[in-house]
Amino acid sequence: MKTLSGGTVTSPKGFLAGATRAGLKTGDVLDLGILYSEVSCVAAGLFTTSRIKAAPVLWCQKHIAAGKSQAIIANAGCANACIGEQGLADAEEVAAIAARKLGLLPQQVLVASTGVIGTALPMGLVRNGIEKVTPSREGGHDLARAITTTDTFLKETGVQVMLEHGESEIAIGGIAKGAGMIHPDLATLLCFLTTDAAVEPDFLKKALRKAADVSFHMITIDGDTSPNDSVIILANGVAGNKIIESGGRGAQGFEKALEEVCLFLAKSIARDGEGATKLIEVIVDGALTAAQARNGARTVVGSPLVKAAVHGSDPNWGRIIAALGRSGVEMTEFKIDLYLDSLCLMKAGCALPFDHEQAKSILDRAEVPIRICLNLGDGTATAWGCDLSEEYVTINSEYTT
Amino acid sequence: MKTLSGGTVTSPKGFLAGATRAGLKTGDVLDLGILYSEVSCVAAGLFTTSRIKAAPVLWCQKHIAAGKSQAIIANAGCANACIGEQGLADAEEVAAIAARKLGLLPQQVLVASTGVIGTALPMGLVRNGIEKVTPSREGGHDLARAITTTDTFLKETGVQVMLEHGESEIAIGGIAKGAGMIHPDLATLLCFLTTDAAVEPDFLKKALRKAADVSFHMITIDGDTSPNDSVIILANGVAGNKIIESGGRGAQGFEKALEEVCLFLAKSIARDGEGATKLIEVIVDGALTAAQARNGARTVVGSPLVKAAVHGSDPNWGRIIAALGRSGVEMTEFKIDLYLDSLCLMKAGCALPFDHEQAKSILDRAEVPIRICLNLGDGTATAWGCDLSEEYVTINSEYTT
């Protein structure tokens, strides 16, 4: 597997993308874009688990099942959520306008929105914007830019893989936006993945779920989940490989590459949490089950007190244990070990004397590794998050004002 | 029912309290205190649901069952948690020293600690401190002061009630500490309640659980739960009333008064959350069940994004709906109404145009009332929390350094 320099959603063959400034956001920024495949795709998606779903999510859930998607139209600046029937009608019209432009049927166009909840899409701006988008083979970066909100850097990547049988080379690309309202599951807001591999639809669905389970489902920024969360993958088969099926040739290579792409994007989202200055990695091992390890790791990495302590490089590790204790994970206090990188802070449930300067220097790093060994079983999991800074509060106390 | 001016844990007859500066905290502050009843008490307690329990909690859970408690010794500055066998031995020794001083058996003395996790109690300071405490009828305020950590004001209250049969007047007093690591259940850190009523042990247990369900279990500051959470009530019977039993005479009056005391303390804790400038009240009604209403209200009031928006008086109400949506509570989007005080922001799932200045002026209040009507059933609940400020982060990024 090779990471492509400048990799993005248009790195796989047959994908074009473009973006424009439609005027949905203030300032001279891209805020509307299109991802387009030259041929129709096998598609799979994961969507918000919130009971309140934005109109574009409802549109996608209805039409992605048909498996014939060929484009995604996305905007920032407006979530198109909580505005009733109008929202559904607008999402449908957005798909229809883009479809007309691309020579497709509306149901072949998926829709994704991010931004403020409770305001209607300014359809005039959207209509004009769509006309101005010119998808190209180089346009992935512009699309990545157009879906950002409070992100401070673009999240995009691409990899190339020689499938096991050595006959075909395929590529996988991805872009994502994050920053706030990020929590499992489904912690991402928007993520678009593309591949030129030919894949069987059920295999694609399972591979996406599997990759998300160790990536998007394992990051948290603030415990809040968005009504717009969408992870969509389009596979257009242009690479010409033999169709990859579950357990068949090429399956493992594809799954590994997709996981790599998702992990990169998920960790980028965690690293770029609103106001974040550090990436926190929490490994829980020795849990009774993997599910318990996942729960423990996500709870610790999501604790506001842990996040604030890491922000100030304060080795107040009792907060890690307090968060673990309230996670509901099975544990025996007198078996728990706690490490900051390789520095042991607690052994068999008992505080160890430790070098505070060494602990502070680990907490000062851009990536802070925390490891908890429950010493009960084989369950292991890793979760990522970020520190909690004053800046997070500042950003979020003035978001719409 | 009459709220007592200057009411506290020593307002009910037969209770004495006192505190001293033992030196567990830096600065010239009280940090160790004793609550003592002249006669033995019926006692009940609620303790942390964390799997990691501080040594004092384990001591209390073991001995409160016996129902013969007569004193509580409490300290701030050190949680006596996560230090293994040493912690258990220290908690037992603290009880024993206090018992000797008070002429009791160790198992008659309950122990409570709050402060940094993972450091051992400095037993020399504790021993000397206990000797210096002189419990008195006026000492409740000092004890309230001695258990504070980052609290900015004392939480104490007392009420007097004429029981239904008009024969006996009883009093209930309470003190609490809060500020951080506060979440249901059991959101309090430390709370000591006293009453001079004569009560049947099972009735007391049930009344405490009932009162906590609508108070301490309905507040959240930061989603974190402490290994030290303890709510303890001592009833010494000095008022000489006929013993109150479940469903019997006086039961309702006692329950109502206890609920009042707990509500006052719980709301005080929420109002004084670390860095807080406002109290947020979230009412969810029309839920399918009360349990669902509780879950919804607690999720919304605990959302960092809601809390930050309230802090900045930003009427970004989509965050309230996003938090509600991820709570897991049963809802039908097109039935939900949302109010800020009496200002309707969303009706039947659809955003309404609203006066932003009016919304901002409600958000500027010291108490911000949010109401969500699910319009599905009869379940209703109220939860309290506070805004999220830059100050919360500052406090918690430098807690031990």
Residue A274 belongs to some domain of the structure: no
- Put simply, the answer to whether A118 touches B400 (Cβ < 8 Å) is no
Alpha carbon distance A53, A58 (integer Å):
7
Going by the DSSP 8-state scheme, the letter that residue A185 receives in this structure is S
Residue A167's domain spans which residues?
2-269
> Per-residue confidence at A183, pLDDT binned at 50, 70, 90?
low
Question: Does the CB of A367 have a partner CB in chain B at under 8 Å?
Answer: no
Q: Is the Cβ of B316 closer than 8 Å to some Cβ of chain A?
A: yes
A132, A207: one domain: yes
Are the Cβ atoms of B318 and A120 closer than 8 angstroms? no
Picking from A333, A335, A387 by the largest number of B CB atoms within 10 A of its own CB, the best residue to mutate is: A333
Contacts of A330 in chain B (CB under 8 A): 51
B186 with B318, same domain: the answer is no
Share of chain A above pLDDT 90, in %: 73
Q: What would the 3-class secondary structure string for chain A be?
A: CEECCCCCCCCCCCEEEEEECCCCCCCCCCCEEEEEECCCCEEEEEECCCCCCCHHHHHHHHHHHHCCCCEEEEECCECCCCECHHHHHHHHHHHHHHHHHHCCCHHHEEEEEECECCCCCCHHHHHHHHHHCCCECCCHHHHHHHCCCCCCCCEEEEEEEECCCCCCEEEEEEEEECCCCCCCCCCCCEEEEEECCCECHHHHHHHHHHHHHCCHHHECCCCCCCCCCEEEEEECCCCCCCCECCCCCCHHHHHHHHHHHHHHHHHHHHHCCCCCCCEEEEEEEEECCHHHHHHHHHHHHHCHHHHHHHHCCCCCCHHHHHHHHHCCCCCCHHHCEEEECCEEEEECCEECCCCHHHHHHHHCCCEEEEEEECCCCCEEEEEEEECCCHHHHHHHHCCCC
How would DSSP label each residue in A337-377? EEEETTEEEEETTEE----HHHHHHHHTSSEEEEEEE--SS
Residue of B nearest to A334 (CA): B84
If you average pLDDT over residues A361-376, what whole number do you get? 96
Mark which residues 120-149 of A lie under 8 Å from B by CB: 120
Task: Identify the CATH number of the domain in which residue B343 sits.
Answer: 3.10.20.340
Chain A 215-254, CB below 8 Å of chain B: which residues? 222-227
Query: What confidence tens digit (pLDDT) does each residue in B207-253 have?
Result: 999 999 999 989 887 766 778 889 999 999 999 999 999 999 899 99
pLDDT tens digits along B284-311: 999 999 999 999 999 999 888 899 899 9
Between chains, do A309 and B396 touch, taking CB under 8 Å as contact?
yes
Pair (B295, B245) in one structural domain:
no
pLDDT digits (tens, 9 = 90+) for A114-151: 988 889 999 999 999 999 999 999 999 999 999 987 78
Cβ-contact B360, B195 below 8 angstroms:
no
- Could you tell me the CA-to-CA distances from A20 to A120, A189, B291, B298 in Å, in that order? 20, 20, 47, 41
Q: Which residues of B touch A333 (CB under 8 A)?
A: 51-53, 82
Which residues are within 8 A (CB) of A5 and not within 5 positions of it... i.e. 6 or more apart?
none
Q: What is the overall mean pLDDT for chain B?
A: 91
> In the predicted model, what is the mean pLDDT of residues B76-92?
93
Nearest to A226 by CA among A278, A189, A178: A189
Q: Which of A120, A329, A393 has the CB atom closest to B311's CB atom?
A: A393
Find the residue in B nearest to A299 (Cα): B224
B55 neighbors B91 (Cβ within 8 angstroms): yes
As a whole-number percent, the residues of chain A with pLDDT over 70 amount to 95
**Strands (E) located in A81-229:** 109-113, 155-162, 169-177, 190-195
Sign of CA dihedral B171, B176, B182, B185: negative
Q: Which of A306-315, B121-130, B223-232 has the lowest mean pLDDT?
A: B223-232
Q: Is residue A331 part of a domain?
A: yes
Asked whether residue A41 is assigned to any structural domain, the reply reads: yes
- The whole-angstrom distance between B183's CA and the closest CA on chain A is 10
pLDDT, mean of residues A351-370? 94
Q: Is the pLDDT of residue A244 over 90?
A: yes
A143 CA: distance to closest CA in chain B (Å): 25
Q: Residues B117, B190: one domain?
A: yes
pLDDT recorded at residue A92: 97
Same domain, A233 and A318: no
CB contact under 8 A, A350 and B313: no
DSSP bridge pairs for B372: B284, B338
Mean pLDDT, rounded, of chain A: 91
Same domain, B137 and B7: yes
Q: For residue A49, list chain B residues with Cβ-Cβ distance below 8 A.
A: 326
Which residue on chain B is closest to A79 by alpha carbon?
B318
Give the whole-angstrom CA distance, residue A106 versus residue A201.
Answer: 21
- What is the band of A354 on the pLDDT scale with cuts at 50, 70, 90? very high
Under the banding of pLDDT at 50, 70 and 90, the label for residue A273 is confident
Look at A120 and B392 and tell me if their CB atoms are within 8 Å.
Answer: no
In whole angstroms, what is the distance from residue B180 CA to residue A276 CA? 21
Q: Are residues A127 and A239 in the same domain?
A: yes
The verdict on a CB contact (< 8 Å) between B325 and A118 is no
In a shared domain, residues B239 and B94: yes
B279 with B267: CB under 8 angstroms? yes
Residue B224: alpha-carbon gap to chain centroid: 14
* Domain co-membership, B176 together with B312: no
Residue B163's pLDDT band (cuts 50, 70, 90): confident
Catalytic residue among A8, A48, A148, A188: A188
Same domain, A176 and A296: no
Interface subset of B 177-206, CB within 8 angstroms of A: 180-181, 183
Mutation choice for B interface testing from A280, A305, A320 by most B CBs within 10 A: A305
User: Count of domains in chain B?
Assistant: 2
Question: B329 to chain A: which residues are within 8 Å by CB?
Answer: 51
Q: What are phi and psi of A122, to 5 degrees?
A: -75, 95
First-to-last CA distance in chain B?
Answer: 46
* Chain A residues inside the 8 Å CB shell of B330: 51
For residues A328 and B60, which has the higher predicted lDDT (pLDDT)? B60
Q: Which residue has the higher pLDDT, A16 or A274?
A: A16
Listed in order, strand segments (DSSP E) in B215-298 are: 230-235, 279-287
Check whether residue A123 and residue A192 sit in a common domain: yes
Q: What is the mean pLDDT of residues A345-352?
A: 92
Domain edge (last residue) among B247, B271, B295: B271
The reported pLDDT for the residue numbered A401 is 55
A-B contacts at Cβ under 8 angstroms: 243
List alpha helices for B10-84, DSSP H. Answer: 55-63
Is there a contact between B333 and A389 if contact means CB atoms under 8 Å apart? no
Nearest Cα residue in chain A from B119: A351
Predicted confidence band at B105 (pLDDT cuts at 50, 70, 90)? very high
Residue A180: which pLDDT band, with cuts at 50, 70 and 90?
A: low
Nearest by CB to residue B325, choosing from A222, A227, A331, is A227
Least Cα separation, residue B377 to chain A (angstroms): 17
B400 CA: distance to closest CA in chain A (Å): 6
Give the pLDDT band of residue A189 (cuts 50, 70, 90).
confident
Residue ranges of A 291-310 with Cβ closer than 8 A to chain B? 302-305, 308-309
Neighbours of A7 (CB within 10 A): 23
Say yes or no for a CB contact (<8 Å) between A400 and B305: no
Task: Provide the 3-class DSSP secondary structure of residue A254.
Answer: helix
A70 assigned to some structural domain: yes
Chain A CB contacts of B398 below 8 Å? 312, 314
Q: Which residues of B are known to be catalytic?
A: 188
Cβ contacts of B317 on chain A, cutoff 8 Å: 117-118
CB A69 within 8 A of CB A40: yes
Half-sphere exposure of B282 (CA within 13 A, CB side): 31
Query: B256-277 in b/e burial notation, b at 16+ Cβ within 10 A?
Result: ebbbbbbbbbbbbbbbbbbbbe
SS3 of chain B: helix, strand, coil, percent, to 5: 35, 25, 40
A-proximal residues of B, 27-86, CB under 8 Å: 48-53, 79, 81-86
Amino acid occupying residue A214: V
User: What token pair was written down for A89?
Assistant: 């009608």
Q: Which of residues 97-116 of B touch A (CB under 8 A)?
A: 116
Q: Of B271, B293, B323, which residue sits at a domain end?
A: B271
Which residue in the block uniquely carries the two structure tokens 């991402």? A188
Asked if the model's pLDDT at residue B334 lies above 70, the reply is yes
Compare CB distances from A224 to B225, B304, B311 and report the shortest one's residue. B304
Q: Do the Cβ atoms of A311 and B397 come within 8 Å?
A: yes
Asked if residue B256 and residue B285 are part of one domain, the reply reads: no
Q: Among the three residues A239, A269, A299, which one is the final residue of a domain in this structure?
A: A269
Reported confidence tier of residue B65, pLDDT bands at 50, 70, 90: confident
DSSP A288: S
